[in-house]
Amino acid sequence: MRQHVHRSTSPATAGRESRAERAGAAAPGARTAQPRAAAPAVSTQQDVFEAQAVGDRRAAAAARPFTVTGQSFAPQHFSSLDEAQNWLTNAQPPIEDPEIKISLPKNATVPAQPTDWRYYRPGQKIVIDGGGATVNGASRGQPAAGYFLSYRPAVGPGTTQENPAPGNLEVRNLNVRGFEAGGIEVSPVVPEGDIRWNGGNNAFVSGISIHHCSFANLGSERTPYGQTDYGQQQFGVAGVLFRGVQNSTIDHCSFRHLVNGAVQGTTNGPALIHAFYCRDHSSNNAFTNNRIADVSGDPVHFANGSNDNVIKNNRAHNSGRYAFSNDWYTSYEADSVGNQVTHNTTGFLYGHPHKPARQFVDLING
């Protein structure tokens, strides 16, 4: 007996039997083919070993997400950027590869701490390729103190603004979150003296490239007021800070929610953070095709003789204390001149949806 299956039909097809059904109907007494049972899956010891190996590789990648590659050595895996730097610094014999690449698992989120990077070889480029990964310094909602990357290459004495050392750094496809001071600081140093303040004084580099990165949720907005300090620079400064940097580019990046709260020692805490802070004789750089939103200070800030930079084709929204960009100078710091700030969409000032942001203002203090 055929089993009757109820199916809904339209009036146009009611009472009809498809050709396939007629062809498939078994004649009385005909033998019908029985469906073949699927072969049961056989789990071998090799399958178990391979599954364990895959799990081990994934666990290792999560524990050591920073992978260093080059021409002359096998890939090396590290738990932090600082650990990778230590390996490069102590390698014997020294690694002479023209390019060292540091990569992260594609689109991963990686807990990270601030790194003070000093490793430098004049003929060797460092490429940090995030592959869409996010490095996050925040813990329990509070940002990590410092920058994700303070790139302070020890270029040695003898560089000048006219004759800078090669910067040898490219950062691409990386998302930076949850750091108090900011995302990336570039400040070359010489080993002697006060190494914090060499950049733009007696140490200069050129050729830095930062592109297709995003910087978000940076600044001291969530830092307890008692842990901020204007004199000690314990507050948000910039998505990217250049000091003593020449002929470098920041292109196709985004800067979102870079915000300071109140800062001890000043009444102007929210205005102290920027998307791009270009200071200490950082000249002939380009900040182009970037997207900026919710920055409590002016998105672009020049200081102390930073000249002839190009700020072009950027788009800002709800950003700026005074304007889209400014030059701040005093009796003890040089004016910045010749900067081209053009073809930017400036939007409205931070927290003031009816106050359009001007392209540029001069701020004089003392």
What DSSP letter does each residue of 304-349 carry, written as one string?
Answer: SS--S-EEES-EEEEE-SS-SEEEEE-TTS------EEES-B--B-
Closest by CA position to 360, among listed 309, 325, 322? 325
Over residues 153-181, the mean pLDDT reads: 94
Q: Count the Cβ atoms, other than its own, within 10 Å of residue 136.
A: 20
Find where tokens 């699927």 sit. 38
The pLDDT of residue 193 is above 70: no
Q: Which of 165, 174, 253 is nearest to 207 (CA)?
A: 165
Give me the pLDDT at residue 157, please.
Answer: 80
pLDDT of residue 172: 98
Token digits of residue 226 = 């008692």
Q: Does residue 43 carry a pLDDT above 80?
A: no
pLDDT at 330: 83
**What is the predicted pLDDT for the residue at 130?**
98
pLDDT in tens, 274-299: 999 999 999 999 999 999 999 999 99
pTM, to two decimals: 0.83
Residue whose tokens read 């490429």: 127
The ranges assigned to domains in the chain are 98-364
Going by pLDDT thresholds of 50, 70 and 90, the confidence category of residue 27 is very low
Q: What is the pLDDT of the chain when averaged over all its residues? A: 87
The larger pLDDT score, comparing residue 88 to residue 202, is at 88
Taking Cα atoms as reference points, which of 260, 247, 174 lies closest to residue 217?
Answer: 260
pLDDT at 18 over 60: no
Q: How confident is the model at residue 5 (pLDDT cuts 50, 70, 90)?
A: very low
Of all residues in the chain, the percent with pLDDT exceeding 90 is 74
pLDDT over 50 at 23, yes or no: no
What does the radius of gyration of the chain's CA atoms come to, in whole angstroms? 29
Average pLDDT over residues 107-118: 96
pLDDT above 50 for 325: yes
* pLDDT > 60? residue 30: no
- State the pLDDT confidence band at 14, using cuts at 50, 70 and 90: very low
What pLDDT, on a 0 to 100 scale, did the predictor assign at position 365?
Answer: 67
* pLDDT at residue 243 tops 80: yes
What's the pLDDT at 41? 53
